[in-house]
């Protein structure tokens, strides 16, 4: 699998699936979650309610329609909330591994990721990048392209440097 980084907005990515940094309730929120629901329209929330009546566990992933976005699917993951004491790193790497498993189940060949937990949930950005890259490199998958979408220039420089 090729891993690349672009600077931009994940809602605009022309890939099979975009990953959302959601929360356990799976009913929308701020940050990238808010941007994805706004860009995709109300079908995403309707699908979340239908498919995830009990929400989703931390570290897990599940898909919905991408609504009006160019992508076909949103793969929602729930990263650990470090600001609420969820410091177990395996909950973060699990998000990337489970997202690829869900992508394989859908037959997705290209997938775009935000930096899960690196915003409101307070995971240190350097380690959020390393957790993403090491898990994407280590997980067997039929996905051919994983695109890290950096929101702003500093995030781009950080990911590009660690991608090597
Ligand atoms: N495209 C790509 N990346 C983005 C975008 C975008 N449009 N917008 C923000 N980011 P966060 P978390 C980056 O806070 O830390 C929500 O309310 C952002 O710069 O969105 O996992 C959920 O509902 C950061 O690097 O997610 C949850 O309650 C990264 O996306 C909670 O926040 C993740 O920041 C999840 O917190």
Q: Cβ(45) to ligand 1 under 6 A? A: no
> How confident is the model over 88-104, as a mean pLDDT?
99
Q: Cβ(23) to ligand 1 under 6 A? A: yes
Q: 33 an active-site residue?
A: yes
Report which of 164, 162, 157, 126 is spatially closest to residue 6, judged by C-alpha positions. Answer: 157
Strand order, beta sheet including 145-150? 2-7, 145-150, 110-113, 17-22, 73-78, 61-65
Q: Cβ(77) to ligand 1 under 6 A? A: no
CATH number attached to the domain at 2-163:
3.40.220.10
With helix as H, strand as E and coil as C, how does 16-66 read?
A: CEEEEEECCCCCCCCHHHHHHHHHHCHHHHHHHHHHCCCCCCCCCEEEEEC
Whole-angstrom CA distances from 138 to 76, 113, 141, 158 are 20, 16, 9, 20
Cβ atoms of 42 and 27 closer than 8 Å:
no
Tens digits of per-residue pLDDT, 37-68? Answer: 999 999 999 999 999 999 999 999 999 999 99
Ligand 1, atom 21, lies closest to the CA of 117
Q: Cβ(148) to ligand 1 under 6 A? A: no
Tens digits of per-residue pLDDT, 103-157? Answer: 999 999 999 999 999 999 999 999 999 999 999 999 999 999 999 999 999 999 9
Q: And the tokens for 146?
A: 């994983």
> How confident is the model over 11-26, as a mean pLDDT?
98
The residue extents of the domains of the chain are 2-163
Report which of 73, 118, 119, 113 is spatially closest to residue 97, judged by C-alpha positions. Answer: 113
Ligand 1, atom 10, lies closest to the CA of 32
Q: And the tokens for 127?
A: 């380690």
CA of 119 to the centre of ligand 1 (A): 5
Please identify which of the residues 33, 88, 104, 127 carries the catalytic annotation: 33
Atom of ligand 1 nearest to the CA of 35: 7
Q: Report the DSSP beta bridge partners of residue 147.
A: 4, 112
Task: Kindly report the backbone phi and psi dihedral angles of residue 12, in degrees, each rounded to the nearest multiple of 5, phi listed first.
Answer: -95, 5
Atom of ligand 1 nearest to the CA of 149: 2
Write down the pLDDT at residue 143.
98
Q: Report the DSSP beta bridge partners of residue 22.
A: 78
């Amino acid at each position: 699998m090729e891993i690349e980084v672009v600077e931009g907005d994940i809602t605009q990515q022309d890939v099979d699936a975009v990953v959302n940094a959601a929360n356990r309730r799976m009913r929308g929120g701020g940050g990238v979650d808010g941007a994805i629901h706004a860009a995709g329209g109300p079908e995403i929330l309707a699908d979340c309610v239908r498919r995830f009546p009990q929400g989703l566990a931390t570290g897990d992933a599940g898909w919905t329609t991408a609504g009006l976005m160019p992508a076909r699917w949103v793969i929602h993951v729930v990263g650990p909330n470090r600001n609420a004491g969820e410091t177990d790193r395996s909950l973060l790497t699990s998000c990337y591994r489970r997202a690829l498993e869900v992508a394989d189940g859908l037959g997705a060949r290209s997938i775009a990721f935000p930096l899960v937990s690196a915003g409101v949930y307070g995971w240190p950005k350097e380690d959020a990048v390393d957790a993403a890259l090491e898990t994407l490199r280590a997980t067997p998958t039929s996905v051919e392209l994983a695109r890290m979408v950096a929101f702003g220039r500093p995030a781009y420089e950080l990911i590009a440097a660690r991608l090597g």
